[in-house]
Amino acid sequence: MSATRRVVETAMAAVVGWCVGWVAGAVGHVIPQSARYPFLAEYVPLPHHVPKYADGVSFRFAMAQDVIHERFARHGASHYRERDRITREKLKGLAPDDPAAFAAADDLGVGLDRLGRSDEAIAALRDKLARQQAKGIKGRGLYTSYANLGTFLIHGNVKKAGAGDASARERFREGVALIRESVMVNPEAHFGREQWQAAIAEFLLAAMDAPALLKTYDCVGDRLDLGIDEILDREANWTSTGYGRPYDPAFGQGKADHEVPAFFLPGAPVDDPARWPEVSPIRKHVTKIGAEAGWENVAAPSHRAPVPFDEPVLGIIGMWRQGGGANPHFALALGEIMLRVGQRRIAWTAYERAGRLADRYSADPETQAFLREHCRKRQAEIERTLASQPGGAAVDRLRPQFEAELAYGEGFQKDYQDFEAAQIAAGASIADEHFFDDFPRRNQAIASQSGPEEWFARVTHARISKYQSENSQAWGVFGAGLAAIAAAALMRWRGCNAEG
């Protein structure tokens, strides 16, 4: 057999072998499913890591966990009494229309409100607003006056208004109108907190006229009568790791890569204000919550349609931390929202907190009992879904963990406030940057660290396609080589027989 013929036959065998190998490599991927390719997983940040505003705060689930358990430093009454004294001394040396006097009036009002002296806080801010208007100040210059006066009117009258006091309800309504004004003149302030303060206050006002709303919706419009299975199935909140999906399916399937490629650049911080213009379109993939079926009939003009879940959550966290503190309406909303984005353990703790605060949910004992029962039902449903996961889940640890974390947070706050009071009594200045240097728990981590709940492990169709191509090519090369070796061996065997 000539050398040319041997080369030709070997090449033909290699081609056939390559084709057979390529088919063998491809046949296993005819219907590719992401779950079959865990080794192709890549971790990407979730779309809520990009804030609503360029210089805004981006949400992390640990923030919700911490506010529920009071895991943040909070000034006590001693601090605000001392600030009140200092502010009043400062005001004595300022002209009534001095801009510094306006800022000091805000400080005075906030301190009085924190001390439970809302009527005095309201009077201080009414006087400030009148002086500003007499001076011709308009628009954004009146933002803090609108926001603070509105807040004080709401805080000071919510309890009586809810109990049916007509004059208190009118003052509450005035407060809501002022908060709306603050949003109009400065919508981005406090990462949009006032928008949610207005929306939630509008809901509470509507519920005063129609108490049944408190048994139908939370304060951002999530329906309370939906079962947990319906919520989780509708939002597609399951993943193999047990974490939820606070984004729409298009994000998880990799379709957003072509829409917002800058968001997926490895190592590039997505919450960098300088990158906000190029990465902010990813926010359309954040799961929307609130304003569910029938909400169009609720008198809450500041909130008419579903919104990305992190927007009301950041507003609630801000009001809880910087405003009136723990609130059953806030806790209930956090529970419903966290449930809708698949964070069932955080939701469980929010329901526990809401149930414990039920006596402040309404003046009506029956409505209070409804909230407690709703929270217990939600918790039981959550425990059922957690226990049914592969390998089960330590649902019996949920309550002990809650108790331990809440005790830690409340204990830290008490120690913080006791130290603060002792320092002030000893003559220390609250303006001293070293005021807390000797606080015994100064170096303890009060805020929780973010974990894997903030990252999404995904296998995109593009990575699967690339792997399929490479796998088929590898099998093709292997088949070609195997066929070429077999052909060469066969021709050599035939040649040896012919010679013999």
Kindly state whether residue 118 falls inside one of the protein's structural domains. Answer: yes
Kindly state whether residue 439 falls inside one of the protein's structural domains. Answer: no
Same domain, 27 and 56: no
pLDDT of res. 479: 56
Same domain, 226 and 295: yes
pLDDT of res. 452: 84
Mean pLDDT over the full length of the chain? 86
pLDDT of res. 242: 37
Percent above pLDDT 70 for the chain: 79
- For the cut 60, the answer to whether the pLDDT of residue 28 exceeds it is no
pLDDT of res. 193: 78
pLDDT of res. 163: 92
Q: Which CATH number is 154's domain given?
A: 1.25.40
Same domain, 382 and 245: yes
- For the cut 70, the answer to whether the pLDDT of residue 228 exceeds it is yes
Same domain, 410 and 484: no
Confidence of residue 243 (pLDDT cuts 50, 70, 90): very low
Same domain, 68 and 171: no
- For the cut 90, the answer to whether the pLDDT of residue 416 exceeds it is yes
* pLDDT tens-digit map of 156-200: 999 999 999 999 999 999 999 999 999 999 887 656 678 999 999
- For the cut 60, the answer to whether the pLDDT of residue 53 exceeds it is yes
pLDDT of res. 190: 59
Kindly state whether residue 435 falls inside one of the protein's structural domains. Answer: no
pLDDT of res. 451: 85
Three-state secondary structure readout of the chain: CCHHHHHHHHHHHHHHHHHHHHHHHHHCCCCCCHHHCHHHCEEEECHHHCCCCCCCCCCCHHHHHHHHCCCCCCCCHHHHHHHHHHHHHHHHCCCCCCHHHHHHHHHHHHHHHHCCCHHHHHHHHHHHHHHHHHCCCCHHHHHHHHHHHHHHHHHHHHHHHHCCCHHHHHHHHHHHHHHHHHHHHCCCHHHHHHHHHHHHHHHHHHHHHCHHHHHCECCCCCECCCCHHHHHHHHCCCCCCCCCCCECHHHHCCCHHHHCHHHHCCCCCCCCHHHHHHHHHHHHHECEECCCCCHHHCCCCCCCCCEECHHHHHHHHHHHHHCCCCCHHHHHHHHHHHHHCCCHHHHHHHHHHHHHCHHHCCCCHHHHHHHHHHHHHHHHHHHHHHHCCCCCCCHHHHHHHHHHHHHHHHHHHHHHHHHHHHHHHCCCCCCCCCCCCCCCCCCCCCCCCCCHHHEEEECCHHHHHHHHHHHHHHHHHHHHHHHHHHHHHHHHHHHHHHHC
- For the cut 60, the answer to whether the pLDDT of residue 96 exceeds it is yes
Same domain, 167 and 299: no
pLDDT of res. 239: 37
Same domain, 266 and 134: no
Percent above pLDDT 90 for the chain: 65
Instruction: Tally the domains of the chain.
Output: 3
- For the cut 90, the answer to whether the pLDDT of residue 252 exceeds it is no
- For the cut 80, the answer to whether the pLDDT of residue 381 exceeds it is yes
Average pLDDT over residues 77-103: 95
Same domain, 314 and 357: yes
- For the cut 60, the answer to whether the pLDDT of residue 391 exceeds it is no
* pLDDT tens-digit map of 261-296: 999 888 888 989 999 999 999 999 999 999 999 999
pLDDT of res. 341: 92
Average pLDDT over residues 457-484: 65
Same domain, 176 and 314: no
Kindly state whether residue 305 falls inside one of the protein's structural domains. Answer: yes
Kindly state whether residue 260 falls inside one of the protein's structural domains. Answer: yes
Average pLDDT over residues 147-163: 95
- For the cut 60, the answer to whether the pLDDT of residue 138 exceeds it is yes
Same domain, 236 and 380: yes
User: Residue 153 sits in which domain range?
Assistant: 76-187
Same domain, 111 and 153: yes
pLDDT of res. 238: 37
pLDDT of res. 463: 66
Which range, of 77-91, 409-423, 448-462, averages the lowest pLDDT? 448-462
Same domain, 58 and 87: no
Kindly state whether residue 438 falls inside one of the protein's structural domains. Answer: no
pLDDT of res. 356: 98
